[in-house]
Structure 1
Amino acid sequence: MSAPVSFVEVCNDNIILAGFKESGVILQLIAQGLTFTETGESLFTRGRLNNILCSHYGDIGVAITNISIESFSIYGMNEISIPYIDIWYNGVSGVFNPDEDKLFVRVNSVFGNKIDTYWYDKLSGKIPSYPIFTIPIPSAAADLTGVKQLAITPDGNKLYVPARGTIEVYDAKTGAHIRSIANPNGMATAGIDIVSLIQHSNATPPSLSCVPGAHYADDQTVNGRGVDPNKGVAGKDTFDFRVIYTGKNSIEPTVFLSVDATTTDKKISYSMANYDTAVSLYGNLDTSGMDPKYRNGDYEDGEIFFLQKLFGKGKYDYHFEAISGGETARLTEIGSLKFSAGYSSVAFIPGLKASRLYAQGFIFEDQIWEPNENGDTEQLSLDGNGDSTDVAIYTKTAPDKGLLDEANIIPDPTGALQENFYKSFIAFLDDLKSDGTVNDWRALPYDWRLAFADVLAGGKGIDGKLYYDSSYATSTPYIFQELRDLADTSDSGMVTIVAHSMGGLLTKKLLADIEDNPNHPYRDLLGKVETIILVASPELGTPQALASVLHGIGEDIPRNLGFFTSRGTARALAQTMHSAFDLFPSDAYLSRVKDNGGASTTVISLDSSLAYLTDPSFDGESVLGYYRTFFGGTEITTASALKNFYRGDDGHADAANDDLIHPKLLLPDFLEEAKTLHERIDGWDTDYDNDGEPDSRVVEIAGWGIKDTLKGLRYVGGAVGSDSSTPSVIPSELCTGHESGCTLDVRPIFTTDGDGTVILPSAIAMGEETYFVDLFTYAEDNFINRSHASILEIDSLRNLIGNIIEEKENPIQYLSSVYNKEDDLPKDLGGAYLRISVHSPIDISIADANGNHVGISASSTLERTFYDEQIPNSYFLLFGEGTYLGVPVATSSSYALKIRGTGDGFFILNVAEERGDTVNKTQTFVHVPVIDGMEAKVSLSSIDDLGELAIDEDGDGLADVVVFSDETQADITFDALVSLVENLDTQERKELVKKAEVSQQLFLKGNYEAAYENLLSLRKKMRKLSETVEILRIVAMIDVLTEKMPAEHSDKDHEREDPKEHLGEDDEEK
């Protein structure tokens, strides 16, 4: 200290604050005996420093300068509040009332003197900008720096103010003048204080003092400690009260704790036990660090009394009292100490793409996520290192601005095209705060494009905006700082983290980082996180991330408005997005997740139809043959094989930017960083101090029952390969039947065991305390689909989270669709399910009897394509070159299935009926001709209704041709043909039946050529009749039977007609 100290103030814990008047500097010292040591912490005030006060309740100081009143934290010396004094006035001195909820500040000027009275928050140290009332006072003798020029009585009722020749007395609660006390010698009074007069005797008077030791919280009004902890979880944490009694050994004292519940005004006293006599009865009493003299039975050198007790939710005042031989003692002598029992405040960390992102335009702000045009997503682009090309992109702190509460990318007053994500959850947390269940909650949005390290190091707040780019450096990273503040201001002294989706991985990462760094600036958070609630978190990764990064599939938010961003743009963004790679299935995923009945899970499958596909990179060898040699099979199930595939180590070429079918090659550095992340967090737990017990409660909540949850990718040959429901070898001539020949396609492998994005085992990887949400049953009961992105819109899930926050013993009691055991999930789903996929130029849709629609929406325009999933538990998905939809098998009225041609060529239709993930039946239509405008309609209840398609080729509403599925064709016989013809209602029935029977007899005799010719004749006669569905069905059956003729007797003179040439056939015979 080179400059002379103007004055000092002594605070708690031997902290001394030295004030320098002219420079306005406050320097922190620590007293050790007669030695004073600088701590290195200091504060520069805004004006000329005149006085300092120390609050006894918290570690707060107040500096009074000539222009301001500045509260600050004593530990850290950080500013808290800075109300400014009226112009022309000079701050001189101040005093707290005993309860420290008011601050009186004396200010002087040539225009008159006054006392400004402020509300004061003793917990936070905040002082409002304006006083609650002002007391005019006479002029002072002098403005003496560092001198106390105000005093207040111990009961807080009277305020004493020195003046010229008098001491003025005021009512401290109203400011009214009470009286003047004249100085007998007429001298001016400058300083003033109030002290107690105590009559001393040789006997030891009873007294109470606080227990020294580091285990107790710094919440006292005297220099000592009273309870550990000073904040705790209501009904869960035990509050340990301790006090030292000193008195005569000849008299046994009665020591008790007096508690006042400030929220209910209920007062009660509890008798405290002598630590020395009770230690044998309490095996868990902590005596570490305790001076033995305080438990040796000698009251004259002090004995510890204690009480351990749970408390319900509330804020409490307390003090200690002792009675000994008619004498009493109280701690504190004036006022009370404080503690609170309650529930932890809540921090909500959203998932991938669930924080809105903005950019400032030339005039207006532009929301670029969610996007309403492709250019918005292009603006989000990242460079090769994963850094934003636009460093000024930001999110916002306000929950309804920083979080995806609901889709807002298009104006839609009806709400028909909207989808809620966090809207109800935000309202739920607001209610928890407003009804006092928790003190506070905050959303922690972030720039989800960036690496976790950048997110955790960033978050600079400027006027409600949050910048996470490294160019906006901050010493107080937003997420860490908010977590600490929520904990410190909560009723329990703790914080509960609710993390959705990728937010769970980010939560694990931030806590692991603290744990791994003993010098982490937020190390204290390890003891302040009470509960971590992971909701639908892909802890071990998800195959959905592969579809996104390799092919740009599944990047639409909201899902049914998925075409505001092109898949090419979405894939380009994901290619350099660290967070996308962090969601890849990890090594732990591959070792823990098992396909139904299998020893492993197949993330990438190579279909047998790839035998008909070649690639220039493979030197003319078929794709299937090459991969069989390279990978040793057609199922990629190991980490090393996946790595080879991602990087192109197998030799396959990188896809062009506009080629969304072939997989892109991935950046090795990004893959390695994701691997390193998962190596740390996949085995992470909350046993921070390695004592074998978790230090934070971890709750995992998984969604289940969504039928289009992706568990793998299947690469097939062209539009004619098999999908996951019909694994069959497709003849090579079908591959070459198309103009383009055989081409690659990528198709989904689905499972019910997930929430639409996350496979269930990945969402419960830690397995400590798990809950399961039955999304399938929820949709049935509530007539609305909820999946991964909108899972927090489910009321029973929100109530589960609320029950966990409130520490309820059975948090799922009375909650529907929520279970605490995986075995309780209705995995048979109570009924069958239809999966339908189509390939080539057709649209397909389904509607139920109430008009609920699944497919391309009628609200679509030329510029924007929307789609519907209005039937409960339905899905509609464009994937690779195909369209996929699913609905439960109809149990009452039938569905209306509609197929419409959008071009010329051929189509493939696959239909599977399954229970759980087990396929029971299939119907497959392969190589069916299609022309633009063609329609087919089927009344559909189950897969048995799809044995045939009646196709209207010319759009006149009448069927022109009937096509059988492969499975139906296999069952067609001459007996079936004869039976159908016999049921015709036509005059030519007998002749037609005779021809059919003759054909059958010739076939049975082996006279195939004659049977074949007879069938052709029968077909020609059938075509002369009116083209009813019955007639067309018989014609189709004849076509099937002729194709079944042994090859040497089938000259193929009759082939299936090209649909364009069908109209007008046999006109010359009519």
Structure 2
Amino acid sequence: MRARTYLFFSFAIFGVALLVGAPIISHATQTFDQSTWRLPLRFTGLSWTNPKTYIPTDMKNGGRYSVPFNVLGNTQIGGINIEYNFMEYGNLYHISATSSARTLTANFYGDWVSPFSWKQNGTYELKIYGYPPPVVMEAQWWRRPLAFLIGNTAHASYSYEPVLTAAIHFTVRDANNNCTIHACANNVLFIPGTEASRLYYRGTLNIEHQVWEPDLYTDIPHLAMNANGTSKYKLYTKDIIGSLYGNNATENSLVKKILNTNDLQVYEKFKHFMNGLVASSTIKQWRAYPYDWRYGASDIVNNGTLTEIHGGTIKRVYIEKVLEQLASTSPTGKVTIIAHSNGGLVAKALIQKLSADGKSNLVDKLIMIATPQWGTPATIGVMLHGDGQTQGLGLIMNGKDVRAVTKTMPDAYDLLPSPTYFAHISTPVVTFDTHGSLTKKLSDAYGATIVSFPKLADFLENSANIALYSKSTSLLGNLFGNDSQTGSTDSLYAPTALSSSLINKSMETHAVLDAWTPTPAIAVTAIAGWGQDTVKTLTYTTQQKKVCDTLSASAIGAFNKSYCTTISYLEHTPITTQDGDGTVVSPSAVGNVGNGLYFDSFLFNKNGNGKIIHRNITSAQPIQKTIKDILTGINPNTIQYITTTTPTNGASPIKLRISSHSPVNIVITSANGKQSGVVHIPGTDFSGVKRDILGSSVQVFDSEEYINVPQNGTYHIVAKGYANGPTTLQIETISGNGIASTTETFANIPTTASSTVTFSLTNGKPTAPIIDLTGTGKNTFTIPISTNPLSYVRYMKSVIKGMDLSRSEHFVLNARLSAIEMQLKGENRMGRRIKNMHRRVNMYQHFSRWRTQSIKFELNILERYVEQQFTLSAHLSKLTHHHHTTRAWEGITFTHHMRLHHAQPHLTAPQAEIILGMIDRLLTLI
């Protein structure tokens, strides 16, 4: 019994011993959390060995190292724990100097030695990955006794997912360069924009004459080009434009006194900034490349530009050679290209040529500022209608002449929206009112909206060939483009036909430029302006006006015909967006290559720093600070007013638009005395644009002016005449998406070269405009805002009283209008009596219809009288001034001037048009 008990306890103790002391047998089923595991490194980064000296350079986190570039050296990474070195690998990235973008440069493995050469200055990031070691786990308790039977087996856990073990940053520079880290800036090549290089011509006796900027409208034809893309005149350049001033010291003084000098800036402040970088030794050298901007980007790069060099010699200078010279003296052996506007397209073409020539290593940074990489819609109006091209009342620049030469310039076509534009931007560039008699023809041909390049190209080439205007037997067709076969060369209302071959050439140009992808060795930065009203769509409508044709009326046999008629004409108005710099929409300026940045010019202006638009954007301090940081290798993303995403401050505001469709210049003054509008410089042929009101914009389309101001506020408006004719002033509310709704229209306002129209606006509500025909304050009258026909008849009498007419014309016109006035007064009195007789409502309605027909009859007679007097006046004026009878009698020759001693009519075409327009307006009120 005792023996059995002993034996039992012996087995029990032996079993417990087996259970506790059995070997660890692992069929592991669990792993450690990888996010908390880090493999120790053998050394902190990357080791690169110079093959010439066999001296390794251990690159650690935060270090700065100097190594020779383009030299293959043995490279190895590793960790502190040598046991797992064979399981490590690393990715090396180069970090852009202008953004946080990373470019993969090389891959390394911890147990391999790989050849690698350094090629770029700057900051690098090395990410090292490894695999965790196997993890041995204890087996479940019930398996341990079986170890003696199944053996000492282990199934260790192993993960095939790599673990980031280290991320280190260090800076590398070329040991063969003398510059230091973050103080190693390239030389700079600056490429200006379109119309920003002066052009010259040497005529008789080899005397130089500047044709751009023009001194007189006679300079413009010198810009014309032949059908084969060559210049008709041998133009050359030698400098870029600093500021836009007058033609002499006196004019300059007046311009600076009246206009904000910042509005006249082009590159003056930018040149001062670049010269300062040289003076401070930030850069060694910079050079601007003026060029003949009439040519396309590829032509400029391949064919060079005629340029006056030292000593007055004119030779062809090639931009590629200029860049090579800058690279040869650059501390880094490389060049940074800074390009404004169209200069960005030239820069792209230049880099592509450098690449084709095996010289792409000469450029490592490209900064494009406000470049229309895909084109911009504002160019459509410039080319079809000469928008914004009339200056000095046509004496300096005439929109018709500018349009005629612009359509021959390849460069202008490159600025039109390209196929890439439509691929990225869905907003229509052109819309047509489908209800207008003229615009319906266009919508039938091209659709209500143009949202594709083929439709745009078709419109640009062929819209002038569509019968946009009613046929007429008079010469009115010549004035308003009635020739449906060729369009109009005189009227800027009618679109001109653009060259199909140049459109195709621009499409080919953009196919190459828009597809360009920079190599990793070139850091591209594209800066877009934001916050200024920028044309995104041109909307076409059909409008009507009275037109009297003096030439036809003065013809022989014209007495029995009417040469005043209602003309339908095409009018285009802008739909704007804040998403641009006033010329280029920001999506096109940012593009789709490189690091895109936005300059918030609205907030910049709001904070009292001045108005910045497309033309003077390089003068903005935030832009200049960005340029300096990029040049010196500092990330510019922390600069005030510079953002990496589209700004939202002040986006899509509701605005008021005050527009003129006539020979007047509008100036708007805010409650704090700031002004925006078109200002004529007294004593000169010069006029300039002021944009001093915060959030305002000014767009000039020949005789049409559009001025936008914030909706809330009090404004004083002055419309100053500069010619004779009828004026229409319109007040509209512009919604956040740019759509306009009319608030008030004042049509057929009499205008002379000395007249003024003044009124005020408070939160969009106008006061009654006051007309001063002579500008002396003596001959004034008020335009009624109400739709009361009696008030309007009295206004008509005031207008006619102020006209310079013959006594008989004054008498007849006043008598007719007085008769209408009496009828309207009578209706008011009789209407009140009849309305008081509640049983006689039908009698009042019958009387009202009779009164309306009677007034229409009187107005018809008045209209016929005005047309007859105009025809007679035009005919007799021709006889008085041009008809001479030469008689010979008894050997004596003399000239007999016909004199008309009776009361001669004085009704001119502008006066007739104003009266007839007022008659039409009254007909809508009765």
Scaled to the shorter chain, the TM-score interval is 0.5 to 0.7
CA contact (8 A) 2:727 2:749 kept: yes
Secondary structure at the counterpart of residue 449 of structure 1 = coil
Match of 2:334 in 1: 494
Once the 2 structures are TM-superposed, how far is the Cα of residue 864 of structure 1 from its aligned partner?
Answer: 4.3
Which whole-Å deviations, capped at 9, do the CAs of 1:563-592 have from their partners, x for residues lacking one? Answer: 522222211221211101111111111232
Name the CA shift for 1:455/1:594 in 2 (closer, same or farther; >3 Å): same
Match of 2:442 in 1: 627
Of 286, 306, 328, the match for 2:115:
286
Of 521, 525, 538, the match for 1:712:
538
Secondary structure at the counterpart of residue 568 of structure 2 = coil
CA contact (8 A) 2:188 2:337 kept: yes
Once the 2 structures are TM-superposed, how far is the Cα of residue 647 of structure 1 from its aligned partner?
Answer: 2.0
Of 486, 511, 524, the match for 1:654:
486
CA contact (8 A) 2:72 2:117 kept: no
CA distance in 2 between partners of 1:656 and 1:407 (Å): 33
Match of 1:818 in 2: 642
Match of 2:763 in 1: 942
Tell me whether 1:430 sits opposite 2:275 in the alignment.
yes
Match of 2:212 in 1: 369
Match of 1:420 in 2: 265
Match of 1:378 in 2: 221
CA distance in 1 between partners of 2:684 and 2:718 (Å): 21
CA distance in 2 between partners of 1:793 and 1:820 (Å): 20
Match of 1:888 in 2: 710
Once the 2 structures are TM-superposed, how far is the Cα of residue 354 of structure 1 from its aligned partner?
Answer: 0.9
Tell me whether 1:389 sits opposite 2:389 in the alignment.
no
Match of 2:556 in 1: none
Of 901, 907, 911, the match for 2:731:
911
Of 350, 362, 380, the match for 1:546:
380
CA contact (8 A) 1:950 1:963 kept: no
The aligned amino acid for 2:398 is S
Match of 1:80 in 2: none
Name the CA shift for 1:680/1:939 in 2 (closer, same or farther; >3 Å): same
Match of 2:409 in 1: 577
CA distance in 1 between partners of 2:198 and 2:396 (Å): 15
Match of 2:290 in 1: 445
Match of 1:758 in 2: 584
Once the 2 structures are TM-superposed, how far is the Cα of residue 382 of structure 1 from its aligned partner?
Answer: 1.6
Name the CA shift for 1:923/1:503 in 2 (closer, same or farther; >3 Å): same
Secondary structure at the counterpart of residue 655 of structure 1 = coil
Match of 1:702 in 2: 528
Once the 2 structures are TM-superposed, how far is the Cα of residue 312 of structure 1 from its aligned partner?
Answer: 8.7
CA distance in 2 between partners of 1:405 and 1:864 (Å): 14
Of 859, 873, 876, the match for 2:681:
859
Which whole-Å deviations, capped at 9, do the CAs of 1:901-946 have from their partners, x for residues lacking one? Answer: 6677654332123353345863132644535466542222321235
Match of 2:450 in 1: 636
CA contact (8 A) 2:374 2:421 kept: yes
Higher helix share: 2
CA contact (8 A) 2:434 2:440 kept: no
Which whole-Å deviations, capped at 9, do the CAs of 1:409-452 have from their partners, x for residues lacking one? Answer: 44313524551111111111112222122222211221111233
Name the CA shift for 1:1006/1:382 in 2 (closer, same or farther; >3 Å): farther
Tell me whether 1:837 sits opposite 2:659 in the alignment.
yes
- Give the % identical residues: 24
CA contact (8 A) 2:535 2:574 kept: no
CA distance in 2 between partners of 1:555 and 1:840 (Å): 16
CA distance in 2 between partners of 1:915 and 1:586 (Å): 28
Once the 2 structures are TM-superposed, how far is the Cα of residue 480 of structure 1 from its aligned partner?
Answer: 1.1
The aligned amino acid for 1:638 is S
CA distance in 1 between partners of 2:430 and 2:621 (Å): 36
The aligned amino acid for 1:425 is F
Higher mean displacement: 1052-1061 or 927-936: 1052-1061
Name the CA shift for 1:545/1:1060 in 2 (closer, same or farther; >3 Å): closer
Name the CA shift for 1:235/1:502 in 2 (closer, same or farther; >3 Å): farther
Secondary structure at the counterpart of residue 373 of structure 2 = coil
Q: How many residues align?
A: 652
Of 500, 509, 512, the match for 2:352:
512
Tell me whether 1:455 sits opposite 2:287 in the alignment.
no
Once the 2 structures are TM-superposed, how far is the Cα of residue 672 of structure 1 from its aligned partner?
Answer: 0.9
The aligned amino acid for 2:199 is L
Once the 2 structures are TM-superposed, how far is the Cα of residue 835 of structure 1 from its aligned partner?
Answer: 0.8
Of 770, 775, 788, the match for 2:596:
770
CA distance in 1 between partners of 2:71 and 2:117 (Å): 14
CA distance in 2 between partners of 1:646 and 1:1003 (Å): 64
Once the 2 structures are TM-superposed, how far is the Cα of residue 547 of structure 1 from its aligned partner?
Answer: 1.9
Match of 1:1052 in 2: 855
Which whole-Å deviations, capped at 9, do the CAs of 1:238-295 have from their partners, x for residues lacking one? Answer: 75698999xxxxxxxxxxxxxxxxxxxxxxxxxxxxxxxxx97597952599xxxxxx
Secondary structure at the counterpart of residue 507 of structure 1 = helix
Q: What are the residue-to-residue correspondences of 1:223-234 with 2, within 5 Å?
A: none
CA distance in 2 between partners of 1:284 and 1:713 (Å): 66
Which whole-Å deviations, capped at 9, do the CAs of 1:60-104 have from their partners, x for residues lacking one? Answer: xxxxxxxxxxxxxxxxxxxxxxxxxxxxxxxxxxxxxxxxxxxxx
CA distance in 1 between partners of 2:608 and 2:288 (Å): 28
Tell me whether 1:922 sits opposite 2:742 in the alignment.
yes
TM-score normalised per structure 2: 0.61
Higher mean displacement: 762-771 or 576-585: 762-771
CA contact (8 A) 1:211 1:243 kept: yes
- 5+ residue gaps, structure 2, are 1-48, 58-62, 75-107, 119-167, 467-484, 547-561, 793-824, 863-911, 919-926
The aligned amino acid for 2:705 is T
Once the 2 structures are TM-superposed, how far is the Cα of residue 787 of structure 1 from its aligned partner?
Answer: 0.8
Higher mean displacement: 455-464 or 743-752: 455-464
Q: What are the residue-to-residue correspondences of 1:326-405 with 2, within 5 Å?
A: 341=181, 342-360=184-202, 362=205, 364-391=207-234, 393-396=235-238, 401-404=239-242
Tell me whether 1:879 sits opposite 2:705 in the alignment.
no
CA contact (8 A) 2:392 2:687 kept: no
Once the 2 structures are TM-superposed, how far is the Cα of residue 367 of structure 1 from its aligned partner?
Answer: 2.6
Name the CA shift for 1:928/1:737 in 2 (closer, same or farther; >3 Å): farther
Tell me whether 1:645 sits opposite 2:459 in the alignment.
yes
Once the 2 structures are TM-superposed, how far is the Cα of residue 953 of structure 1 from its aligned partner?
Answer: 6.5
Once the 2 structures are TM-superposed, how far is the Cα of residue 763 of structure 1 from its aligned partner?
Answer: 0.9
CA contact (8 A) 2:433 2:541 kept: yes
Name the CA shift for 1:463/1:544 in 2 (closer, same or farther; >3 Å): closer
Which whole-Å deviations, capped at 9, do the CAs of 1:126-166 have from their partners, x for residues lacking one? Answer: xxxxxxxxxxxxxxxxxxxxxxxxxxxxxxxxxxxxxxxxx
Name the CA shift for 1:609/1:859 in 2 (closer, same or farther; >3 Å): farther
Name the CA shift for 1:646/1:757 in 2 (closer, same or farther; >3 Å): same
Of 394, 405, 419, the match for 1:587:
419
CA contact (8 A) 1:531 1:698 kept: yes
Once the 2 structures are TM-superposed, how far is the Cα of residue 351 of structure 1 from its aligned partner?
Answer: 0.6
Name the CA shift for 1:669/1:828 in 2 (closer, same or farther; >3 Å): closer
Name the CA shift for 1:651/1:823 in 2 (closer, same or farther; >3 Å): same
CA contact (8 A) 2:464 2:495 kept: no
CA distance in 2 between partners of 1:354 and 1:960 (Å): 46
Of 370, 382, 395, the match for 1:536:
370
Which whole-Å deviations, capped at 9, do the CAs of 1:143-196 have from their partners, x for residues lacking one? Answer: xxxxxxxxxxxxxxxxxxxxxxxxxxxxxxxxxxxxxxxxxxxxxxxxxxxxxx
CA contact (8 A) 2:384 2:495 kept: yes
Once the 2 structures are TM-superposed, how far is the Cα of residue 778 of structure 1 from its aligned partner?
Answer: 2.5
Secondary structure at the counterpart of residue 666 of structure 1 = coil
Secondary structure at the counterpart of residue 857 of structure 1 = strand
CA contact (8 A) 2:462 2:497 kept: yes
Match of 1:110 in 2: none
The aligned amino acid for 2:407 is Q
CA distance in 2 between partners of 1:394 and 1:1048 (Å): 71
Of 662, 665, 681, the match for 2:513:
681
- 5+ residue gaps, structure 1, are 1-208, 213-223, 229-233, 246-278, 290-307, 318-336, 596-600, 612-622, 688-693, 721-735, 973-990, 1014-1044, 1063-1070
